[in-house]
Each structure stands twice: as C-alpha cells, then as structure tokens.
Amino acid sequence: MAMTYKARRRWSLVVLLIGLPLYIAAALFVVSLFDRPSLLVEFFVYVGLGMLWIVPLKKVFLGVGQAEPDAGKDTQK
C-alpha cells in the first residue's frame, strides 16, 4: 500500500524530529563503547552511520520537498 503525500510529509517530520536525534544518540553510544580510533577511521564510521539511517527510510522522503501532486494549479504559486 503506497503512502499518500500528506502521510509521507508527516512521517518525514517525525523521523527528522524524533528518530534522527535518537539514531545519533545510539550511534554515539555504540561508538563510545570502543577505544577511540584514529581521526580518519572515526570520520568514516560517522559518515557511514550517517548514510545508513536513510536507506530504510528513502521512500518516506521521496518527493516531500516538491509541490503536492494532487493539488490543482490554483493552489500553486
């Protein structure tokens, strides 16, 4: 079942305001469990974790920044 445009907008807002900070805290906690690696390795770990969170949520964010597809031409600016 495909999500409507409004549902995708709402879920993307929930993910960005609640889910992303929780994911960042979890990533920091997991990385802090190990001894601190070199700066370059640590950088690539954080970049990899930063890209990893979007993979399962890609469908939620597709087209959210565009105009609503069901809206008529009179509502567009």
pLDDT of residue 63: 81
Question: For residue range 9-67, what is the model confidence (pLDDT) as tens digits?
Answer: 999 999 999 999 999 999 889 888 889 888 898 889 889 988 988 888 888 888 888 88
C-alpha distance from residue 56 to each of 35, 45, 51, 60 (Å)? 29, 18, 10, 9
pLDDT of 73 strictly over 60: no
**Amino acid (1-letter code) at residue 62:** L
Burial class (CB within 10 angstroms; exposed 0-12, middle 13-18, buried 19+) of 60? buried
